[in-house]
Structure 1
């Protein structure tokens, strides 16, 4: 059994009980980690706080990762409360809904900028802020998707962002490796999260994944949480710069 007692984990991206961030938070909490769980804004606070209250000892923090000022404020609060952190989970992605439907060629310039700022640059920004607090080394992880490699209709500009995100993971792994900070991505299969509902034909994606994956089903949040728990632990002490697929094997299939 993995024991994270004495470790502090910061989890970004909690929206509701369907969030992958929530599945990860539950697994880290069950392993004994102290949790700082971050939600985006005041509108999401009530639902997020209800979930956080189900994890005794966890604390909630508000932070919009598209704001450098809010990131700076958050990590000041984290330093004051925890002194150091060991694990950071970046479960954040966003693109305008109109850029997640129809033909990719119609992607707007603004939609492209927003998708990359919120979904990719934010990983750089929070990693930069977290690194000085990871005084005993640490594990940073983010969430990707198979569309970073292969065409998934309607995923559109978010696929560009996920490809950039995976590249970002490798560069951050190189930068932070000398500090014994590992950086990895989890490429989860499609899950019906709040963010995913904005993608056109999500139902078709879920059906195709379940039909074609070797395990003949879709993945759930807690299974992604299990992979995150592994990456957070010493069992993954030599794993960095990688993309770990948690998709019931879908990515290995040709057709």
Structure 2
């Protein structure tokens, strides 16, 4: 059986530019025949995302700032109106106030922590809530984690506990939505030179460390994350749910 996504339709959240992990996912899914709804953060971001959506043949390009009440729900309303049902949704969003991300967790503010948690983690729960009514025959939900969720990574700070919560949410959602044949996974890429990652202090050092310590002596790429996403969305992975899967050339194996 070959890997094909012909006839599958779904959502990609989190494309900022051509280097985004979300774009790597969208590119591979489109190449395998999936129809895509792509979102952009705001009007400032749209000129960077629009050409990519056109290149990928996206059926819909919609605004979605998950911190603005109703915007995520409006995206699902549009997909329901145009498609009726969907087969997958990919969540590749993370955000923290920069001063909180660069500071110690112990010094984080309640407001900063809660906003980072809402955008980076609870938006995935809200996405799952909206997805379930558009997946009457089942589907796949994916989100992006990181090694810093399970061990201390220098300079990852506030985002470590938030990614740990995101991983836990994926497991609980997999359990809750399993009866509806909705499968849920978190994917854990290694460090990649994306716009979001550029906000982490000493990120070049983190990438050098990952390259030198990974068994394969390299980094993963957004396209390789996309390849895993495609497999998980495909009918080849119908019995898999609740997993956290690394795309990091084995870096997580080495202390």
- Structure 1's unaligned 5+ residue stretches are none
Mapped partners of 2:149, 2:35: distance in 1: 32
The answer to whether the aligner puts 1:220 opposite 2:221 as a matched pair is yes
Mapped partners of 2:169, 2:214: distance in 1: 27
Q: Greater CA deviation, 240-249 or 101-110?
A: 101-110
- Compute the displacement of 1:67 (Å): 2.9
User: Which residue in 1 is equivalent to 2:130?
Assistant: 129
Contact kept? 1:147, 1:162, Cα under 8 Å: yes
Alignment of structure 1 residues 213-252 onto 2, 5 Å: 213-252=214-253
Contact kept? 1:68, 1:125, Cα under 8 Å: no
Mapped partners of 1:246, 1:175: distance in 2: 26
User: Which residue in 2 is equivalent to 1:48?
Assistant: 49
The answer to whether the aligner puts 1:139 opposite 2:140 as a matched pair is yes
Q: Which runs of 4+ in 1 moved over 3 A?
A: none
- Compute the displacement of 1:58 (Å): 3.5
Contact kept? 2:102, 2:200, Cα under 8 Å: yes
The answer to whether the aligner puts 1:120 opposite 2:118 as a matched pair is no
Mapped partners of 1:238, 1:252: distance in 2: 26
Contact kept? 1:40, 1:62, Cα under 8 Å: yes
C-alpha root-mean-square deviation of aligned residues, in Å? 1.0
Alignment of structure 1 residues 79-118 onto 2, 5 Å: 79-118=80-119
User: Which residue in 2 is equivalent to 1:12?
Assistant: 13
- Structure 2's unaligned 5+ residue stretches are none
TM-score (ref. length: structure 2):
0.97
Contact kept? 2:38, 2:58, Cα under 8 Å: no
Q: State the Cα deviation string for residues 134-164 of structure 1 (Å, max 9, x = none).
A: 1220000000000001101111111111000
Contact kept? 2:146, 2:189, Cα under 8 Å: yes
TM-score (ref. length: structure 1):
0.97
- Compute the displacement of 1:79 (Å): 0.4
Contact kept? 2:89, 2:141, Cα under 8 Å: yes
- 1:182 partner SS: strand
- Compute the displacement of 1:102 (Å): 3.8
Contact kept? 2:41, 2:64, Cα under 8 Å: yes
Alignment of structure 1 residues 137-176 onto 2, 5 Å: 137-176=138-177
